[in-house]
Amino acid sequence: MAERRRFENEKLVIASHNPGKLREIADLLAPFNVEAISAAALGLPEPEETGETFVANAELKALAAARGANLPALADDSGMSVDALGGAPGIYSARWAGPQKDFNRAMEKVWRAVEDAMSKDGSVEPPITAQFVCALSLAWPDGHVESFEGIVPGRLVWRPRGVYGFGYDPMFLPESEVENGQLRTFGEMPPEEKHAISHRARAFRQLINACFG
């Protein structure tokens, strides 16, 4: 296995045009005195996500941004995988929200699909288990890339609850909340609490230990 490469630059491109992801990643980077620059601010286009896994898409985006900016770049590819839907929406989580990025519509689409699966297959019954998955890839302009993956198990709730977070957060109840009896969705958790346990935080801790520690 190739030796891990340490991050030693002062600037890091965040290869995302998603404001929610940018805020979360910037918050996670804050203790490391790294200047985070968004791909959008640099006028970098969003590459087509042609990978078949979260890691493949994260690496694709990170490498495109690193080469485009001639700086190290960090990319995230993440989504929600529902067991009753065979892992969907998975890597297509953002696409389920349509061109307008309407995640209220996406959550309704997920729940309708779950109801259809439950009506057609008697083995599908509550709780409706799901996972949030995040792949983080840190790439350099020379093509070197480091990738890490974080997973948070949970279950779906309907109707969505909470005003925090973004994407599918209001319909996702992490298993840790079930275990401690609080039963809050990611959408009901203040950002600092979600950041401590999220799939992105789990991937980020691996990244920090390998490349910043």
Give the residue numbers annotated as catalytic, written as ranges.
Answer: 77
Q: Which residues pair with 132 in a beta bridge?
A: 80, 152
Cα–Cα distance, 44 to 166 (Å, whole number) = 23
Cα–Cα distance, 173 to 130 (Å, whole number) = 9
Cα radius of gyration (the chain): 17
Cα–Cα distance, 44 to 90 (Å, whole number) = 25
Cα torsion 199, 200, 205, 211 to 10°: value is 140
| Token couple for 79 | 């989504």
What 3-state class would DSSP assign to 26? helix
Place of tokens 């970098």: 44
Identify the sign of the CA torsion 184, 22, 137, 79. Answer: positive
Q: E strands of 101-175, at which residues?
A: 129-139, 145-156, 172-174
Cα–Cα distance, 205 to 75 (Å, whole number) = 15
